[in-house]
Copies of this chain bind each other. A is one copy, B any other.
Amino acid sequence: MDSKQNGKRTLMDYCPDIMIMDCTMRDGGLVNNFEFTDAFVKDLYQANIKAGVDYMEFGYKASKDLFDPKEFGKWKFCDEKDIRAVVGENKSSLKISVMADVGRCNYKKDILPKKDSVIDMIRVATYIHQIPAAIRMVEDFKRKGYEVTVNIMAVSKVNTDDLDAGLSLLASSSADCIYLVDSFGSFYPEQVTKLSQKYVEVAEGAGKIVGMHAHNNQQLAFANTIEACRMGACLLDATVSGMGRGAGNCYMESLLSFLKNPKYDEMPVIRFVEEHILKLKAEGVVWGYDIPYLLTGILNSHPSSAIHFINSNRTDYCRFMQELLDVE
């Protein structure tokens, strides 16, 4: 990591260690019930390759015992055959990722040995109290031959002692990467500075890297992502036009144009917006910054109430804020 000086990067650095993860289908799938057209998926795959994106997350590996496949698009389950229908043997520079939630994935059965799969990376999403269960999954996936990350969700609600203990457990695990996740879009950049430093310190001591996954409730997803990057995070999540639950994520277009490594090119992604995202929005698929998400972000709350508010076509924001405060 020649590009870092004292753990901080500068704007003009080339930074060959930085990698980008496109999670449009995974976080965006939460918006449209994972019902992407085949053309959308194939074109996104090609756009990511052309743009120099490093990883593309196709969706979740959700348990079919817990979730009825008739009620969701296929990318909630990411069957091997469905991924292969898009990527074949994936003879490309783009690696393939899926997400496995602790407690919602039949991982012993549904995650094949790597030699039988076109998937490269499994990302384990966990709450802080599930970390021991997450580590059991990590070790299983590593034994099977995958790259593995652990994404600790909702850390903005976790106290420092618990977070330190969780990070320490993960440092001793076989995970390749630990993710800083701003689930509620409640962090300001200076909080990201400190948390990134903490994560990087723990991870580097254990030979791991740090990832960043931001939400846009306060229109800070991009700013927080590049701040984490500046402090040493290497694996940066983004989605096309920020598509993702509620206020959505860091915009891929912005992130690609920010990075100075010439392997990245935002134009294939912008062309994808022209061809697919505008249509999706015209069809009424809704995500992105709006006042209800700002309010849940300010209060460090789960966005579900804001999603419900917007889906109900309500615009009485002040009353909504009072409802949120009543619950807090």
Contact = CB atoms under 8 A, between A and B. Distances in A.
A55 B190 CA distance: 27
A196 to B, nearest CB: 14
Contact of A317 (B221, B251, B274): B274
Interface string A116-143: 0000000000000000000000000000
The secondary structure that dominates the A interface is: helix
A258 interface: yes
Interface in A280-308: 291, 294-295, 298
Contacts of A223: 189, 219-220, 222-224
A324 to B, nearest CB: 12
Contact of A315 (B11, B258, B278, B298): B278
B318 A270 contact: yes
Contact of A219 (B227, B254, B267): B254
Contacts of A271: 317-318
20 contacts: A10-B190, A11-B188, A11-B190, A11-B191, A188-B258, A189-B223, A189-B226, A216-B219, A219-B221, A220-B223, A222-B223, A253-B291, A253-B294, A254-B294, A257-B294, A267-B318, A270-B318, A270-B321, A274-B315, A274-B318
Given A219-B221, A220-B222, A257-B298, 4 more contacts: A11-B188, A218-B254, A253-B291, A270-B321
